[in-house]
Amino acid sequence: MANDPALSVADPQIAELIAAEERRQADTIKLIPSENYVSKAVLEATGTVLTNKYSEGYAGKRYYEGQQVIDQIETLAIERAKAVFGVEHANVQPYSGSPANLAIYMAFLSPGEKVMGLGLPSGGHLTHGWSVSATGAWFTAVRYGVRQDTGRIDMDQVRDLALAERPKLIFCGGTAVPRTIDFPAFAEIAKEIGAVLAADIAHIAGLVAGGAHPSPVGYADVISTTTHKTLRGPRGAMLMSTEEHAKALDKAVFPGLQGGPHNHTTAGIAVALKEASTDEFKAYAAQVVTNAKALAEGLASRGFDLVSGGTDNHLVLIDLTNKDIAGKPAAQALDRAGLETNYNSVPFDTRKPFDPSGVRIGTPAVTSRGMGPAEMDAIAGWFDEVVEAAKKGDEQTIERVRKEVLDLTAQFPAPGLG
């Protein structure tokens, strides 16, 4: 940690940079929907001597000796994942979300076979078969999208495309999807064509765990998720499935794609999953959605164009076209004001991905700080002020908002910091 004297002595430059990042996280309003604050306990677990140990293989079947403790830690993480999500099998070894998804391909597809996923411009993820990803280069991608009039996935269109193309694997879920994923409808389509259904719940895993979003369990053959984002764990990933697919998935992760798991991350995942089993976490998950709806309403009332008209989860996607400003300059101005967002493509965007029309925001981190609907309305007001100021080059307003943001963050200490 930043205050560790060993780090300060060994590498004061890195120690100061970590301290600076800690201050930045404390002093800004984190609105990026894929970011959150982990607890002090999760931080402590990830910064331990577990990083010293190699553990290729699985509990009871390792290729290195000295696994007496590691096997217990990984087994705890697996059992907690199974209990929190209600699944028959869990693998907690994937390094991150993209390798976890790639393991699904390795388990079920051969190179060149068809995969169907939500297109990147419509809110899908790179690993669902997008062209610049290995998944798009090594497999034949079929992409569905959203309706132009509603911004929502049209399940009739998904079915028609699936029947015409007959993909072997279908992904549902994405990275900028503000609405509830209809797992039963996807499952029905996958069953009709004999495809494997993979639910990527990386963004909504914490909401699923806390009962604030329907679960894919019982519908999807395999579930992939990161362990950070709404789940509030360390940067890692998990794969979950029925027992039927356990062997294929485990073999795809190791030895298919990875060597030794990151045991310090596994411990952090175990801690986060224990936290996710509590009533306090359920209340947090519900508040994430309440806050997102309040933030969406605050923005809509100020004339912002929200993709799909609002949100059902933690995420709000804003099309800034009607505000006469692109996503990138807006996001940069918001960052100067202490409102941390990311610029993002919107469905049917006419601008390039690195200079898109939209901004993506979410409420996991502000909810972890204890903020509620009143603060969401204040944030929506600042958002409006900064966007207008950015168009005029009005840095004074941006500086004023920055000071007001500092006043608010001081009232809501960030978990795990300090």
Structure-block tokens of residue 375:
């603060």
**Paired sense of beta strands 29-30 and 339-340, if any:** parallel
Q: What are the two backbone dihedrals, phi and then psi, of residue 281, each rounded to the nearest 5 degrees?
A: -70, -40
- Distance in angstroms (rounded) separating the CA atoms of residues 28 and 402: 9
Structure-block tokens of residue 233:
């764990």
Does the annotation list 126 as a binding residue? yes
Q: Residue 62: beta bridge partners?
A: 57
- Distance in angstroms (rounded) separating the CA atoms of residues 287 and 410: 20
- Distance in angstroms (rounded) separating the CA atoms of residues 316 and 298: 11
Does the annotation list 228 as a binding residue? no
Does the annotation list 120 as a binding residue? yes
Q: Which residues are catalytic?
A: 54, 56, 200, 226, 229, 235
Does the annotation list 306 as a binding residue? no
Does the annotation list 375 as a binding residue? no
Torsion sign, CA atoms 78, 79, 80, 81: positive
- Burial of residue 377 (number of CB atoms within 10 Å: 0-12, 13-18, 19+): middle
Residue ranges for the known binding site for (6S)-5,6,7,8-tetrahydrofolate are 120, 124-126, 243
Residue ranges for the known binding site are 120, 124-126, 243
